[in-house]
Amino acid sequence: MSRIIVFGGHGRIALLLAPLLVARGDEVTAVIRNPDHADDVAATGARPVVADIENADADALAELVSGHDAVVWSAGAGGGDAERTYAVDRDAAIRSMGAADSAGVTRYAMVSWIGSHADHGVDPDSSFFAYADAKWQADAHLTGTDLDWTILGPGALTFDAPTGRIQLDESGRAAVSRADVAAVIAQTLVEPATVRRTIRFGNGLEGAPEAIEVALRA
């Protein structure tokens, strides 16, 4: 049994992740911003904790993280406002890494996106640029820490039914169901081969993709 804290606990992926973790016996803390979402989170078996991570300092985040075995960062500003995107997807994420380190919680899984590269190619005039830039900066910072990190880069997210199968995809073209992303996160937390790796994936470009547990050991 592991104690796992999930930031962005009311996100669509997090709401699918929590039941998977709870079903295998993990204790899940789901950090949410809006107290009105507490019942939705509790219904998954997770323990909702309300916190303003956008404005919380490193000490406050460390207090949240303390006592857990792993951190999952699945929080985001949701696009739209560039300033808030940088504040959450980059700055708060980076503070959470320092918080995990100071709290002695070394396992850290970052939910990123398949195109997170320094040369992501997103036009600076695009409304998507702030997200792409913020995620890359957060990912780059994470790789420079001493944490046992994993960066997960799913392709375009769909509402398709889970398949239990993925295909690694460094080219950045694949799409993947949110349910399978949740399953990848869950498996990542128990798969030592994923530590200090960036894993870009989708549900498969052509041919039969591999079972999640097999693909993550590749």
Q: Where are the domains of the chain?
A: 3-215
Exposure pattern of 98-136 as b/e (b: 16+ CB <10 Å)?
A: bbbbebebbbbbbbbbbbbbeebebeeeeeeebbbbbbb
Are 129 and 100 spatial neighbours (Cβ–Cβ below 8 Å)? no
Rounded Cα distance, 132 and 15, in Å: 23
- pLDDT at position 175 over 90: yes
Rounded Cα distance, 98 and 104, in Å: 10
- pLDDT at position 14 over 80: yes
Residue 120's pLDDT is 84
H/E stretch holding 48 reads strand 47-50
pLDDT tens per residue, range 85-117: 999 999 999 999 999 999 999 999 999 999 998
Whole-number percent of the chain with pLDDT over 70: 98
How crowded is residue 210: how many other Cβ atoms within 10 Å of its Cβ?
A: 17
Residue 45's pLDDT is 98
- pLDDT at position 55 over 90: yes
- pLDDT at position 205 over 70: no
CATH architecture of 3-215: 3-Layer(aba) Sandwich (3.40)
Of residues 191 and 77, the one with the higher pLDDT is 191
Of residues 204 and 67, the one with the higher pLDDT is 67
pTM: 0.95
**DSSP one-letter code for 118:** T
φ/ψ of 49, rounded to 5, equals -130, 125
User: Structure tokens of 206?
Assistant: 């052509």
Residue 172's pLDDT is 74
- Rounded to an integer, the average pLDDT of 129-154 is 96
- Rounded to an integer, the average pLDDT of 184-197 is 98
Strands (DSSP E) contained in 65-213 are 70-73, 107-111, 148-154, 156-158, 165-168, 175-177, 197-202, 210-211
